[in-house]
Amino acid sequence: MTDHPSTFKGEETHRPGIQWDDRASLHRVGDGDGVLDAAKGLRSGTFAELVTHMILLSEDERANYYIEKAGDREYHADEVAELSQRADFPRS
């Protein structure tokens, strides 16, 4: 999995496209965020693994969860479904 790059000799740290191997965690919608947000994750893994996991859920159940990717970016059910259809999505 990738981590945020250090600033020491941090040239050319930007990689275009979606970083499917970034760290991510699965959360229940409405879990409250806050100071203990990281502890509220239900499952963790790479972004691609969690997109795959959410897509395997029924559409109704999927709406109850979101993925929080490294950098506090949240991806909710509709966006996750779109991402799973991308040509560059790593399929197993």
pLDDT at 3: 52
pLDDT at 30: 83
On the question of pLDDT at 82 being above 90, the answer is yes
With a CB cutoff of 8 Å and minimum separation 6, the contacts of 38 are 25
Query: What does the pLDDT look like over 8-51, one tens digit per residue?
Result: 666 666 667 788 999 999 999 987 765 555 667 789 999 999 99
What kind and span of H or E run contains 34?
A: none
pTM: 0.78
**For the chain, what are the domain ranges?**
23-84
On the question of pLDDT at 6 being above 90, the answer is no
Mean pLDDT, the chain, as a whole number?
Answer: 83
Give dist(CA 73, CA 58) in Å, integer: 23
Helix (H, G, I), strand (E, B), or coil: what is residue 46? strand
In the sheet that holds 23-28, the strands lie side by side as 43-46, 23-28, 65-69, 73-76
Give dist(CA 67, CA 54) in Å, integer: 9
